[in-house]
Structure 1
Amino acid sequence: MKITVTAHARLHFGFTNLTPELGTVYGSVGVGLKEPFTRITATSAADFSVHGPRSEQVAEYATRLAKQYGIAWNAHLMIEDTIDRHSGLGSGTQTALATAAALLHLHGMDCDIRTAAGALDRGLRSGVGIATFESGGFILDGGHQRLDRPEVIVPSNVLVHHDFPEDWHFVLFLPAVKPGLSGKNEGTVFHELGDTRAISDAICRTVLLNMLPALINKDIEAFGTALTEVDTWTGHFFNKAQGGTYREALAHDAVENLLSAGAYGVGQSSWGPCLYGLVDSRTEQSVVRAGKEFLTAHGLDGTVRVVRPNNSGATIRVDD
C-alpha cells in the first residue's frame, strides 16, 4: 500500500488578541493556498526509513508519533516536495501533519489530525495551519484560554470557515533573506509583549466589521483594505522584536510598491520573510512585475509568484 499526502501552504494574516485579560489569546486569521506544498509518500515496508529533503525533521516527527501511539512504524517515507522552512508559509505544521496523516493512514489507524498535531507541539499558538490542513479556505480561529504552555496542547477551535473566492489570488514576494523567528526565540517574543489591548481592539473591530462582511459579499477592495489594516496592527504587536511593523527594513517599501502597482491589500505572513499582495486577474501581472522590479532595483535574489487559494485542505491519496 502507498499513501501520498499533499499539505498546502497557508498565509497567516494576523492575531486577534495577545492580552490574556481580554479573553482568549492567539486567535488568528488566515487562508489556505494551493502552492507551495509539502508532499510525503508512505509505502509499506518491513522496517522504517525516511528519505528526501528534511528527512531528519520528518524522522523526529515519526519518532514522537510512535511514542504517542505506542507503535513501531513499518514504512518507507519519501519527502517529494517541501515548503521552504521559516518563510512564513506554515512549513513546520504542514510537514508535521503530512507525516502524521501518511503514517496513520498507512497503518489503518484513526487519523484524528488534531490529536496528532498536539502530540507534535503544533497549535500551541495559531490554529490556522491545522485548520487549513483540514479544510482549506478562510479561517478565523478562537485561540486559547491562556498564554503559558499547557501540558497537553489542544489546537484552538475554528470560529469561522468560509471558502475564499477562487478569482482572488495572491502574489507572493519572497526575498532571499534570513529566515523568520521560530521555536524558543518566538516564544520569548510572545512573553515580552506587555499590554496590547488597544491593538487587539482595533484588529477585532476590523475583522468583525470589515473583513468578514467583505469576504461574504465578495468585495475584494473592502477585503483588501481590511487585510492591510489587520496586518499593520499585527505588526504593532511585534514592533520591539522586529524593529518595526515588518521584520525587514525594506519590507515597508516593498509592500507599498505592491499597493502602488494595484494590490488590493498587503501584508507579511507570520514572521516572514514572505510578503503578499491580494490581486485578481486585472491586477496580478502589474503586481508581479512591480515585485520583480523591486528585487532587481535593490539587488536582491528571490521569487515573485501568483498563487491561488485552496478551499479543500490537504489531499490524501491511497494506492493499493
Structure 2
Amino acid sequence: MNAEMIVETGCRLHFGLLSTDPARDRSFGGLGVMLESPGWAVHLVAAAQASDSVQADGETQARIQRLLELLRANEPFAGQPPLAVTVRRPLVHHAGLGSGTQLAMAVVDGWARFLGLTLANDEVFRLSRRGARSSIGQFGYFSGGFLVDAGHQRPTEQGMLQRDAIVVRAEFPDEWSWWLISPKNATGLSGEAELKAFREMTPIPQATTDRLASLTLLSILPGIQSRNFQEFARGLHEYGQLVGQHFAAVQGSVFSSPLMGDLARHLMEAGLPCVVQSSWGPTVAVPVTTEIEEEFETAWKKWPPHEKCDRLRTKAMNRRAVIHR
C-alpha cells in the first residue's frame, strides 16, 4: 500500500455520435480528443476515521461517495481500510468535457494503485460504470490522443451489449491548440433530461452516418496524419454541423447555447475554419494554429458578448492521466 496517491486527469472533447439507432450493427461511438486542461486532481490517502471521507464540492462529493460505496461491493476493494479522497482541482460538470468519466476513472484507478494493485484497463472500465454510449473518455484516460469509437455492436444472442475497443488512436499535433469557450454559469443536458432527449429523438439517418464516417476517414484523420490543419478543421466543422443539425430537435439548434451559436457564426465569418460543440455543450471548441491565432483574437475582441463567456487555451493530451505517488 502506498502512503498517498494523486491522480491528475485531462478532459475529453466529444464531437458527436456516429449513430443513435441501436437496431443497426453499430450505434453511438463517435470522435473525440483528450486535452491537457482543464482536468481533475484527486488526492487519495488512508482515512483517519473509521469510514470513507470525501472532501469536494456538492455534486462531486456525492458522486465520489456513491462510487466508493459501489466499489466496496466488488473486488479488490471489498473489505479494504477506509479511504480519504480530496479533490484538489475540480473539473466542471455538465459542460461537455466528460468530467464524470474522468473522475470515476481517477478514483477507481487511483484507489487500486494506492493499494499497490494495477488493474487491467477493461476492469477499470467496468468498475467505473461509464461509457454507456461512447468509450472515448475511458480509453482516453489511459491513452490520450485523438480517438475514433466505432460504436457498440448489436446485442448478442445472450442479450449482452458488446463494446468494441477504440478503432483509431492518433497522436494529435502538438503545434495545434484548442480554445474552449462556454457561457458563464451555463450547463448542458444531463441525467434524466439527457435520457429523455435520446428517447424522443429520431435515429440519425443512415445517409448522415455515412457522411460522418466519410468525413472521419477521408478528411479528419488524413488531416491529422499529414498535419494539414485546413483539411482537418474543415472536415471536423462539417462533422459537428451535421451532428448538431440532427440534435437540434432536442437542443434547440446546431449549438445548444444560442450565445455559442452566435459566436460560431461570428468566427466563421471572420475566416476561422472550425467551431464545434463538445457533447451536449454548452462548451464549444475552436482549433487554431499559430498562423490563425491572431485572427481568432481579433474576431474574439470584436464580438461584444465575449464578456459573458469563459475561455481557456489548451493543448491535446497525447498521454495517459498522471499518477503521483
Q: TM-score of the superposition, structure 1-length normalised?
A: 0.91
Instruction: Tell me: CA distance 1:62–1:103, structure 2 relative to 1, closer, same or farther (3 Å).
Output: same
Q: Is the 8 A contact 2:300 2:306 kept in 1?
A: no
Give the secondary structure class of the aligned counterpart of 2:133: coil
Matched to 1:238, the amino acid is F
Q: Distance in 2 between matches of 1:276 and 1:22?
A: 30
Q: TM-score of the superposition, structure 2-length normalised?
A: 0.89
Report the Cα offset of residue 71 of structure 1.
3.2
Report the Cα offset of residue 189 of structure 1.
1.7
Give the secondary structure class of the aligned counterpart of 1:203: helix
Residue 259 (1) aligns with residue 263 (2)? no
Corresponding residue for 1:49? Answer: 53
Q: Distance in 1 between matches of 2:222 and 2:236?
A: 12
Residue 317 (1) aligns with residue 292 (2)? no
Deviation digits for residues 43-89 of structure 1 (CA, Å, limit 9, x no counterpart): 13454211133222211111111112223343221110111110111
Instruction: Tell me: CA distance 1:89–1:299, structure 2 relative to 1, closer, same or farther (3 Å).
Output: closer
Instruction: Tell me: CA distance 1:205–1:11, structure 2 relative to 1, closer, same or farther (3 Å).
Output: same
Corresponding residue for 2:315? Answer: 308
Corresponding residue for 2:147? Answer: 139
Matched to 1:191, the amino acid is R
Structure 1 residue ranges without an equivalent (≥5): none
Supply the RMSD in Å over aligned alpha carbons: 2.3
Structure 2 residue ranges without an equivalent (≥5): none
Instruction: Tell me: CA distance 1:71–1:28, structure 2 relative to 1, closer, same or farther (3 Å).
Output: farther
Moved more, 70-79 or 212-221: 70-79
Deviation digits for residues 271-314 of structure 1 (CA, Å, limit 9, x no counterpart): 111011110112224324533553xx237532122111100021
Percent sequence identity is 28
**How many pairs does the alignment contain?**
315
Residue 37 (1) aligns with residue 39 (2)? yes
Instruction: Tell me: CA distance 1:262–1:118, structure 2 relative to 1, closer, same or farther (3 Å).
Output: farther
Q: Is the 8 A contact 2:42 2:89 kept in 1?
A: yes
Corresponding residue for 1:277? Answer: 286
Give the secondary structure class of the aligned counterpart of 2:10: strand
Give the secondary structure class of the aligned counterpart of 1:37: coil
Corresponding residue for 1:28? Answer: 30
Q: Is the 8 A contact 1:284 1:306 kept in 2?
A: no
Q: Distance in 2 between matches of 1:145 and 1:153?
A: 7
Q: Distance in 2 between matches of 1:240 and 1:224?
A: 25
Residue 291 (1) aligns with residue 300 (2)? yes
Residue 227 (1) aligns with residue 236 (2)? yes
Structure 1 or 2: more strand by fraction: 1
Corresponding residue for 2:250? Answer: 241
Matched to 1:49, the amino acid is S
Deviation digits for residues 123-168 of structure 1 (CA, Å, limit 9, x no counterpart): 0111111121011000001211249xx9977654110001000011
Residue 122 (1) aligns with residue 123 (2)? no
Report the Cα offset of residue 194 of structure 1.
2.1
- The one of 52, 56, 66 equivalent to 1:60 is 66
